[in-house]
């Protein structure tokens, strides 16, 4: 199972609310990394994982079946748009590591293009779907490159999502913010919290904060 830093970051950082989380949705779940992390972190939650790519869903089914939480994990091989139309579920927590590179050159491979670009799921469609499926006190967490985050922030604010918290992620202290993980809800927060994380202090020398955040999910930590 391929483990990407972005997926680990959003899966590890996403705050688990004080109240019991019983339903979680992973949008664009790939091979199931974030869904598995949520199952590990939320022992009473049932997790639905939506993924449009059939081969990725096959891999995800295998990964789920080999986990300790297989009875709480369910795969849906469909688009998020179709899932929103058909499901009657609402979720306490929705997580997403969405397609990036909205302005980049599209990969000639349709599978790789679907994974790396947002042509199959526009930000506005993601926002509308989240608003429909999120429970009243639920939260939505996603990771984006900084330029895409700025676009999402404006679109989400216009459509009635409220930002509660965000984490600016820098590769090293000397480099610019490359990723932003943000947490959203349907109500305005009492306060907006901004945090920052350096992944490495130097080449292959991970920061204490990164190790502490992700230790439960990396065997070599």
Using one digit for the tens of pLDDT, what is the confidence trace for 156-183?
999 999 999 999 999 999 999 999 999 9
pLDDT, tens digit, 9 for 90 and up, residues 61-110: 999 999 999 999 999 999 999 999 999 999 999 999 987 544 444 445 44
Distance CA 89, CA 86 (A): 9
Helix, strand, coil % over all residues of the chain, rounded to 5: 35, 30, 35
Question: In this prediction, what percent of the chain has a pLDDT beyond 90?
Answer: 81
Map residue 78 onto helix, strand or coil.
Answer: coil
Q: Which comes out higher in pLDDT, residue 192 or 20?
A: 192
Q: Which comes out higher in pLDDT, residue 15 or 169?
A: 169
Distance CA 77, CA 13 (A): 26
Q: What is the mean pLDDT of the chain?
A: 90
Where do the structural domains in the chain lie, given as residue ranges?
Answer: 5-216
In angstroms, the Cα distances linking 104 to 18, 53, 100, 116 are: 39, 21, 9, 9
* Mean pLDDT to the nearest integer, 16-33: 90
Q: Indicate the DSSP class of residue 171.
A: S
Q: Is residue 1 very low, low, confident or very high in pLDDT (cuts 50, 70, 90)? A: low
Q: What is the CATH number of domain 5-216?
A: 3.40.50.150
Distance CA 23, CA 147 (A): 30
Pair 73, 47: CB distance under 8 Å = yes
Q: Is residue 2 very low, low, confident or very high in pLDDT (cuts 50, 70, 90)? A: low
Do the bridges between strand 73-77 and strand 46-51 make them parallel or antiparallel, or are there none, so unpaired? Answer: parallel
Q: Is the pLDDT of residue 142 over 80?
A: yes
């Amino acid at each position: 199972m391929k483990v990407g830093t972005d997926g680990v970051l959003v899966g590890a950082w996403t705050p688990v609310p004080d109240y019991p989380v019983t339903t979680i949705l992973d949008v664009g779940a790939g091979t199931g990394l974030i869904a598995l992390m949520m199952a590990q972190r939320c022992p009473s939650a049932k997790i639905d994982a939506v993924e449009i790519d059939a081969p990725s869903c096959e891999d995800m089914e295998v990964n789920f079946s080999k986990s300790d939480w297989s009875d709480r994990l369910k795969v849906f091989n469909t688009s998020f748009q179709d899932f929103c139309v058909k499901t009657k579920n609402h979720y306490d927590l929705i997580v997403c590591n969405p397609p990036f590179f909205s302005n980049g050159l599209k990969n000639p491979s349709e599978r790789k293009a679907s994974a790396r670009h947002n042509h199959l799921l526009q930000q506005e469609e993601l926002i509308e779907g989240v608003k429909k499926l999120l429970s009243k006190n639920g939260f939505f967490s996603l990771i984006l490159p900084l330029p895409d985050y700025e676009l999402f922030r404006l679109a989400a604010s216009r459509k009635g999502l409220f930002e509660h918290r965000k984490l600016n992620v820098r590769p090293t202290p000397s480099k610019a913010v490359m990723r932003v993980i943000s947490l959203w809800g349907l109500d305005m927060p009492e306060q907006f919290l901004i945090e920052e994380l350096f992944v490495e202090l130097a080449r292959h020398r991970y920061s204490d904060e990164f190790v502490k955040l992700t230790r439960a999910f990396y065997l070599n930590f």
